[in-house]
Structure 1
Amino acid sequence: MSDSSFRILIIGVLIACSLTHVRSDASDHRYKVGDVVPLYANKVGPFHNPSETYRYFDLPFCSPDGIIKEKREALGEVLNGDRLVSAPYKLNFRDEKDSAVACRKKLSEQDVAQFRSAVEKDFYFQMYYDDLPIWGFIGKVDKEGKTHPNEYKYFLYKHIQFDILYNKDRVIEISARMDPHSLVDLTEDKEVDVEFMYSVKWKETDTPFEKRMEKYSLSSSLPHHLEIHWFSIINSCVTVLLLTGFLATILMRVLKNDFVKYAQDEEAADDQEETGWKYIHGDVFRFPKYKSLFAAALGSGSQLFTLTVFIFMLALVGVFYPYNRGALFTALVVIYALTSGIAGYTAASFYCQLEGTNWVRNLLLTGCLFCGPLFLTFCFLNTVAIAYNATAALPFGTIVVIVLIWTLVTSPLLVLGGIAGKNSKAEFQAPCRTTKYPREIPPLPWYRSAIPQMAMAGFLPFSAIYIELYYIFASVWGHRIYTIYSILFIVFIILLIVTAFITVALTYFQLAAEDHEWWWRSFLCGGSTGAFIYAYCLYYYYARSDMSGFMQTSFFFGYMACICYGFFLMLGTVGFRASLLFVRHIYRSIKCE
């Protein structure tokens, strides 16, 4: 990558970092007694369906003045489904009050039915007070002594108790408790007069402002959770050590014997028939079929690998602190756009090394290989979200912004990278000459075909990460908080090592069986872990989660399909690159006539 491209990438990462610290307003979080502290209502939705969220006032809550003020949100907040509006409560700084009426409203029969449906689905609400998250359930279902759902009673909470900790002139912590004795009966469809009330208690604390977000990350740092994480690390390390030790011992011994055998054959007689991987030296560097698609897959995989590394760098320096999820989406969009030059350069350079001629078509294929399926999935899921009137539906303005980023940043950098790759004039380094006609591949047993090999190649890397996968899923598709990025980074490194080693081993066994079509096989074997992760999605959805409904199901399996496809491209690239280094090494070590 050129110096100018690298500078652009670094600037973009810094922009992503600056956009992550989304604030409630322009204040420095310092207040005087009686000052207005920003309080925004964010969204409501079924507790077990994290993607199915709605605007706060989609439920018939009342607003104090009948006016709903919307907060202007950053790109990451919109992508995260946040829709902040002014809340019906006023929590001025250190304003002691026992209780106050937020607003009064007469609920019609339709309003009662709407609230009852929300309570039945276990709806929760989320608010932000001085950028600190607040949660609470909007009601409860009384099932005590009842055996049939028709006998259940439904109640709406009408009183919220806010407990706020402060340190001098700053807010440190806030929690909301629903008063179990202040309820509205929603069981019958009849009009109800409701007074939505709240009370506030202020208490001083010594916790410094810089540590006020630490309590949200404590759940993932509890001793028993850390023990499980370290068990996962130890399990993965043992897997890596056993695998690398086994492969190193076997491959070094076998290769050493091969080198000795081939050296003796060359000294003894030239008319002896060659066998094994040396026998196909004239075909092993024969370029693969569909080389334009192959080069595009390598380009996309290289870009996704770079994107993942940069995301880990930002995570390790503390950018993605708890409940700043908008930061992650902003960083993903910005860094993906800025790394498109890497995809263009890698794809065009490798395509030209494979003696490809239509590099423009190759660039178009590279640009669409990952973005195309992602765009189609987004169109379908956004349509579903619009039909549900959910906050996951992106506004037209946000879609325009993303299209502009793709048009003005991603595409030009892809083209510039492609031009640089085409002009690099790098030659494919093949230690052996390729014969004019390919040798026929001998008949092989079924377990040496592509699908069984992919199954073997994907299982070991997946076994090294599956324990950590649960915590990641529970964070992304649930309400748990994941903050131990250092452990996740170690697991990622282990995943790369295991993927590289198992792909190299399978490539050697394939070549030893005189099967010279290893290019696509190494990519498919390396990326097969993505298929195992998607299979784990099925297990997690049906066995470990309580998600339900068409929207949540389509969002879960739709976006996880895109993520697993990205893993396939990234790990496939890792597997092929490792195999290419290995194949070049062994054929460079022998004399091939």
Structure 2
Amino acid sequence: MAAAMVWWPRFLLLLCLTCKTSTFYVPGVAPINFHQNDPVEIKAVKLTSSRTQLPYEYYSLPFCQPKKITYKAENLGEVLRGDRIVNTPFQVLMNSEKKCEVLCGQSSKPVTLTVEQSRLVAERITEDYYVHLIADNLPVATRLELYSNNRESDDKKKEKDVQFEHGYRLGFTDVNKIYLHNHLSFILYYHREDMEEDQEHTYRVVRFEVIPQSIRLEDLKTDEKSSCILPEGTNSSPQEIDPTKENQLYFTYSVHWEESDIKWASRWDTYLTMSDVQIHWFSIINSVVVVFFLSGILSMIIIRTLRKDIANYNKEDDIEDTMEESGWKLVHGDVFRPPQYPMILSSLLGSGIQLFCMILIVIFVAMLGMLSPSSRGALMTTACFLFMFMGVFGGFSAGRLYRTLKGHRWKKGAFCTATLYPGVVFGICFVLNCFIWGKHSSGAVPFPTMVALLCMWFGISLPLVYLGYYFGFRKQPYDNPVRTNQIPRQIPEQRWYMNRFVGILMAGILPFGAMFIELFFIFSAIWENQFYYLFGFLFLVFIILVVSCSQISIVMVYFQLCAEDYRWWWRNFLVSGGSAFYVLVYAIFYFVNKLDIVEFIPSLLYFGYTALMVLSFWLLTGTIGFYAAYMFVRKIYAAVKID
């Protein structure tokens, strides 16, 4: 399955290679061919830590700098992720070894860190920061070799289970002492392309690894040519950073090249298969079995009960007896009575439709491999633009529902649809961004980018919402099968289990149970800076989520109408999004048990962004459940005879 997830980039690559003229490349997919001794540029992306959730620019620390610092032009997704891609002074040539090179300073004069710089470096090391570099758009990875016992062998020989860590650790601590990784051993793997005899060989980079080391100044031998000699074995001590005084050290690096059988089209497999695929399959199978088993039982019960109800209600000779009974038919004159605040309800549902269309398209396109992680920021950029353009569908659905609910102020309704949910998101993000600005983090959205987002909101999304709302409001409203009485019916006293909060708890279990394992991998990708590219699994989970939300919503609205409570509009919308409550509980559990965040601002960022995720998930699942229940209610009341 993991190999199948990346078939689409390979197909595009094959298609591109077979075209000799007018070649078209999808961004992030085109390979780069290197010849012997061609420069391979090493760039820095950012510094990250799962403890602080605050990314920083590479040169926020006193690393060696090139003569001219050049930042790469970034897309919207890269800016929002906090990426600040910049060049570095590492000199790497294709298939050319370097045993040890001094990165900056002179061999006779090491780099001196001031007290302030030493304190900052020590602080970043204690906060478990990782450094992220890229070579030919491949992120650097640290090899972790874990040993496991082979049960099949008699002598139980230990075999290596190789895993990779994204980036490399800035340093480490030991017995209240802080050490910096000041030597980087780069290991680059290349694939030799098959060429004709009279042509020069070309190479392609297929993996980028690093072995970080800490080597004390006194143990490193240098010469006049900026070369150095690494100490052998365990004869060296690590480079300590004392935050209370100046520190002298060398920044050095070495380069080693190895030939690999990995094809260029498969070079991302190492990064994308870091998570256990079998767990995903187990999650999918478990969710499918549980959801369809429970859905089958619920459907059978409801269909059998409904058939019995409709048959009894339609008996002409038992009309009087039927009217004396309690049931959902007795509220036929009030079931389509417009709820309170119809404008807000339709606006929230319109934003839910907008979210649903955006998420469906993004997951489907990503499943096809067209949002490859080699195209950095493409996923977030696509999601932002799609949400803006999906405003026409959100406005159309909100406008038609608002007219169905007897609304008349369509201009105000369109403005509410275009600003209510996006305004809450923008407000929370702006407040959080102020705190990030105060920390001088690269995760802070620059002011020009914020202005550009506002222009997208008011220049693209708002006009499209108005356009869709106008046509939706002009369209014929939904045809309700029964008329609404002028006088509202009295609602009998409800049992305790019909309480709204109890309904939220009951309705949220099934959808959350179908997705909570996948939610763990999503949280790991977001908060622990890991790769997530198993969108095929995510698409299946999304389909299961839609089915389970629809089923549970129909069941809950049926029970409510049987209790002669016809105020189902708002209640069903809230109850259908009940799984968002469990997502919030799981986020708190993940924060306490999986993350090591203790400071105020990182905690504020976590719960602020989690609140946005929960709100969006509630809108999504609530909208799915609402429309499923609405179609169900219209269907059952159209099947009975109403005098």
TM-score by length of 1: 0.90
Q: Say whether the 8 Å CA contact 2:295–2:551 is kept in structure 1.
A: yes
Q: Say whether the 8 Å CA contact 1:75–1:330 is kept in structure 2.
A: yes
Q: Say whether the 8 Å CA contact 1:341–1:417 is kept in structure 2.
A: yes
Mean Cα deviation higher: 269-278 or 163-172: 269-278
- Specify the alignment match of 1:84 in structure 2: 85
- Specify the alignment match of 2:233 in structure 1: none
Q: Which string of whole-angstrom CA distances, capped at 9 and with x for unpartnered residues, describes residues 139-182 of structure 1? A: 22123xxxxxxxx2222222111111112322111111112445
Q: Is 1:450 aligned to residue 456 of structure 2?
A: no
Q: 1:81 to 1:32 in 2, by over 3 A?
A: same
Q: Which string of whole-angstrom CA distances, capped at 9 and with x for unpartnered residues, describes residues 401-431 of structure 1? A: 212212221112111111221222x123111
Q: Say whether the 8 Å CA contact 1:344–1:418 is kept in structure 2.
A: yes
Q: Is 1:55 aligned to residue 81 of structure 2?
A: no
- Measure, in 2, the Cα distance between the counterparts of 1:45 and 1:318: 26
- Specify the alignment match of 1:175 in structure 2: 209
Q: 1:456 to 1:584 in 2, by over 3 A?
A: same
Structure 2 residue corresponding to 1:226, chosen from 264, 277, 287: 277
Q: Is 1:525 aligned to residue 525 of structure 2?
A: no
- Specify the alignment match of 1:74 in structure 2: 75
Aligned AA for 2:502?
A: P
Q: Which string of whole-angstrom CA distances, capped at 9 and with x for unpartnered residues, describes residues 354-402 of structure 1? A: 2211011111111122101101111111101100000110112211221
- Specify the alignment match of 2:40 in structure 1: 37
Aligned AA for 2:574?
A: L
The share of aligned pairs that are identical, in percent, is 35
- Specify the alignment match of 2:49 in structure 1: 46
Q: Which string of whole-angstrom CA distances, capped at 9 and with x for unpartnered residues, describes residues 476-528 of structure 1? A: 11133222221221111111111111111111111111111111111111112
- Specify the alignment match of 2:401 in structure 1: 350
- Measure, in 1, the Cα distance between the counterparts of 2:188 and 2:247: 31
- Specify the alignment match of 1:153 in structure 2: 177
Q: Say whether the 8 Å CA contact 1:243–1:498 is kept in structure 2.
A: no
Q: Say whether the 8 Å CA contact 2:48–2:55 is kept in structure 1.
A: yes
- Measure, in 1, the Cα distance between the counterparts of 2:499 and 2:174: 58
- Measure, in 1, the Cα distance between the counterparts of 2:530 and 2:49: 15
Q: Is 1:204 aligned to residue 259 of structure 2?
A: yes
Q: Say whether the 8 Å CA contact 2:271–2:531 is kept in structure 1.
A: yes
Aligned AA for 2:172?
A: K
Mean Cα deviation higher: 556-565 or 114-123: 114-123
Structure 1 residue corresponding to 2:612, chosen from 537, 558, 562: 562
Q: 1:528 to 1:164 in 2, by over 3 A?
A: same
Structure 1 residue corresponding to 2:239, chosen from 184, 187, 198: 184
Q: 1:568 to 1:315 in 2, by over 3 A?
A: same
Aligned AA for 1:73?
A: E
Q: 1:427 to 1:186 in 2, by over 3 A?
A: closer
Q: Say whether the 8 Å CA contact 2:76–2:381 is kept in structure 1.
A: yes
Q: Which string of whole-angstrom CA distances, capped at 9 and with x for unpartnered residues, describes residues 522-544 of structure 1? A: 11111121121111110110112
Q: Say whether the 8 Å CA contact 1:119–1:138 is kept in structure 2.
A: yes
Mapping of residues 28-427 of structure 1, within 5 Å: 29-49=32-52, 51-65=53-67, 67-104=68-105, 105-134=111-140, 135-143=167-175, 152-168=176-192, 169-182=203-216, 183-187=238-242, 189-220=244-275, 225-264=276-315, 266-270=316-320, 273-322=324-373, 324-424=375-475, 426-427=476-477
RMSD: 2.0
Aligned AA for 1:421?
A: G
| SS of equivalent to 1:420 | helix
Q: 1:96 to 1:522 in 2, by over 3 A?
A: same
Q: Say whether the 8 Å CA contact 2:354–2:390 is kept in structure 1.
A: yes
Deviation of 1:462 after TM superposition, in Å, equals 0.9
Q: Which string of whole-angstrom CA distances, capped at 9 and with x for unpartnered residues, describes residues 239-277 of structure 1? A: 21232222122112211221222233x324548535211
Deviation of 1:575 after TM superposition, in Å, equals 0.7
Q: Which string of whole-angstrom CA distances, capped at 9 and with x for unpartnered residues, describes residues 275-309 of structure 1? A: 21111111111111111111111111111110111
| SS of equivalent to 2:324 | coil
Q: 1:446 to 1:199 in 2, by over 3 A?
A: same
| Aligned residue pair count | 557
- Measure, in 1, the Cα distance between the counterparts of 2:26 and 2:499: 47
- Specify the alignment match of 2:629 in structure 1: 579
Q: Say whether the 8 Å CA contact 1:20–1:326 is kept in structure 2.
A: no
- Measure, in 1, the Cα distance between the counterparts of 2:622 and 2:377: 29
- Measure, in 2, the Cα distance between the counterparts of 1:133 and 1:226: 21
- Measure, in 2, the Cα distance between the counterparts of 1:558 and 1:188: 33
- Measure, in 1, the Cα distance between the counterparts of 2:362 and 2:398: 22
- Specify the alignment match of 1:514 in structure 2: 564
Q: Say whether the 8 Å CA contact 1:216–1:322 is kept in structure 2.
A: no
Deviation of 1:22 after TM superposition, in Å, equals 5.4
Q: Say whether the 8 Å CA contact 1:52–1:551 is kept in structure 2.
A: no
- Specify the alignment match of 1:469 in structure 2: 519
- Measure, in 2, the Cα distance between the counterparts of 1:323 and 1:550: 34
Q: Say whether the 8 Å CA contact 1:133–1:323 is kept in structure 2.
A: no
Q: Say whether the 8 Å CA contact 1:48–1:547 is kept in structure 2.
A: yes
- Measure, in 1, the Cα distance between the counterparts of 2:25 and 2:496: 53
- Measure, in 2, the Cα distance between the counterparts of 1:279 and 1:372: 41
Q: 1:587 to 1:454 in 2, by over 3 A?
A: same
Aligned AA for 1:194?
A: L
Structure 1: 5+ residue stretches without partners = 1-17, 144-151
| SS of equivalent to 2:377 | helix
Q: 1:268 to 1:412 in 2, by over 3 A?
A: closer
Deviation of 1:46 after TM superposition, in Å, equals 2.8
Q: Which string of whole-angstrom CA distances, capped at 9 and with x for unpartnered residues, describes residues 443-468 of structure 1? A: 11122121111111112211221122
| SS of equivalent to 2:103 | strand
Mean Cα deviation higher: 205-214 or 508-517: 205-214
- Specify the alignment match of 2:640 in structure 1: 590
- Measure, in 2, the Cα distance between the counterparts of 1:74 and 1:325: 8
TM-score by length of 2: 0.83
Q: Say whether the 8 Å CA contact 1:354–1:428 is kept in structure 2.
A: no
Aligned AA for 1:88?
A: P
Aligned AA for 2:372?
A: Y
Q: 1:283 to 1:229 in 2, by over 3 A?
A: same
| SS of equivalent to 1:184 | coil
Question: Which structure has more helix as a fraction of its residues?
Answer: 1
- Measure, in 2, the Cα distance between the counterparts of 1:547 and 1:269: 66
Q: Say whether the 8 Å CA contact 2:42–2:92 is kept in structure 1.
A: yes
Aligned AA for 1:85?
A: V
Q: Which string of whole-angstrom CA distances, capped at 9 and with x for unpartnered residues, describes residues 183-232 of structure 1? A: 42213633233221111011222222111111111212xxxx23322222
- Measure, in 2, the Cα distance between the counterparts of 1:397 and 1:95: 42
Deviation of 1:323 after TM superposition, in Å, equals 5.8
